[in-house]
Structure 1
Amino acid sequence: MEATTLPKSWNIDQILDDLDQHGFAVIDDVYPHDYVHQLVNECTSNLNRFREAAIQNGVVSNIRSDHILWINENLDIAQRHIDTLKQFSQLLNRYFYLGIKDVEAHFACYNAGEFYALHRDNPQNKNGRMISTVYYLHEQWQDDWGGELHLQDKNNLWHTLKPRPNRIAMFQSDLLHEVLEAKQQRLSITAWLRSDQAIL
């Protein structure tokens, strides 16, 4: 896989350097507008299928209040995003020897008042999640609408990443993070690049 197969807007060297130095990276203007619009339509047309999110083994917890829909091959538009992440995983394996084998992903909807408290996606290497990614797919967002990703980097510094449209935030899955309360409906795709086979 050559980097040229990834979207041209991705600064591959910068992304890899940020992941190496800080444990996280941000990519803006990820996809062309036409694709973003198709993706938003696919997400919003399926909102009635979303269910309350769980944390472990299907247990619903009060540390999070978002709603999700797991992505499979029947969601054609979102599957293209997953395929891009699979291509990018090959680069991560080449540079960081992460052994990523698969990607699991779901649409996420945070309605006004919803949040996700401080947690790690892979605490103490208890699962195969290596890299976490959040792609923000709402078409408009204002800074005072909340819903930020609050993240502690690998150097123990805290960052607040705004959920700007057509942005990806990606970070090591063992880093501590939270989603601050949203004041408007916030739509995204959360995906994990895994060193094992994802089971949806």
Structure 2
Amino acid sequence: MQVTQLPVHWNIERILDDLDEHGFTLIDAAYSEQYQHAVVGECLQHLQQFRQAAIQNGVVSDIRSDHILWLGPEFTIADQHSQTLLALAQQLNRAFYLGIKDVEAHFACYNAGEFYALHRDNPQGKNGRMISSVYYLHQTWQDDFGGQLRLQDKHGNWHIIQPQPNRIALFQSDLLHEVLPAQQQRLSITAWLRSDHSML
């Protein structure tokens, strides 16, 4: 994966300080409107290819009801986001010695009523996921649309993060979190910064 440069308006010091202090951070107005519009278009273009995330090897889980589509370099617009996260990983490695080597990502769609119950992306260090991220794609959003990220920070305090358009939420993959039921279609790119190489 080609490493790109971080957007110049990202406040890297604040991102690092937030992650160090609380275990999570938010990046608002992450990208240009042109990029946001383009990546939403790419997502919507492939919406028919999404599959139920709850079905793994034919087994249905009741912990989640969203739909996903794993991303690769053929998704040229979304891959720019993955490249940006990989550039951010270099900063995180220098600051926290995380040893991040790769990014895995998928589009996610939460239709009305869909959710993801409380879980950790890397429970007790069982996989290589170090930092989780959610980039919210939809063009407009209102608080009563639901779909919020409910997250417990590293001190045990709970936070409700609104899925505002063009916002990136970054958090430690071992933190407990959930996606509250959506009332409107909610689109995002979920990605993990890994200390091993993705099997995708």
Which bracket does the TM-score occupy, shorter chain normalised? over 0.9
1:124 equivalent in alignment to 2:139: no
1:6-155 equivalences in 2 (<5 Å): 6-54=6-54, 59-155=59-155
Cα distance between partner residues in 1 of 2:160 and 2:55: 23
Q: 2 CA distance for matches of 1:69 and 1:121? A: 17
Which amino acid in structure 1 is aligned with residue 6 of structure 2?
L
Q: 1:122 to 1:58 in 2, by over 3 A?
A: farther
Instruction: Say if 2:115 and 2:182, in contact at 8 Å, map to a contact too.
Output: yes
**Cα displacement string for residues 36-81 of structure 1 (whole angstroms, at most 9, x for unaligned residues):** 0000000001000000004766743111000000000110000000
Query: What runs of 5+ residues in structure 1 fail to find an aligned partner?
Result: none
RMSD after superposition: 1.3
Query: Could you give the per-residue CA deviations for residues 159-192 of structure 1, whole angstroms, max 9, x where no partner exists?
Result: 0000000000010000000000000000000000
CA 58–89 in structure 1, closer or farther in 2 if over 3 Å, else same: farther
1:5 Cα deviation after fit: 2.6
Partner of 1:184: 184
Deviation at 1:10, TM superposition (A): 1.0
Q: Tell which deviates more after alignment, 4-13 or 72-81.
A: 4-13
Percentage identity across paired residues of the two chains? 70
- Checking the alignment, whether the CA contact within 8 Å between 1:122 and 1:174 is kept in structure 2 is yes
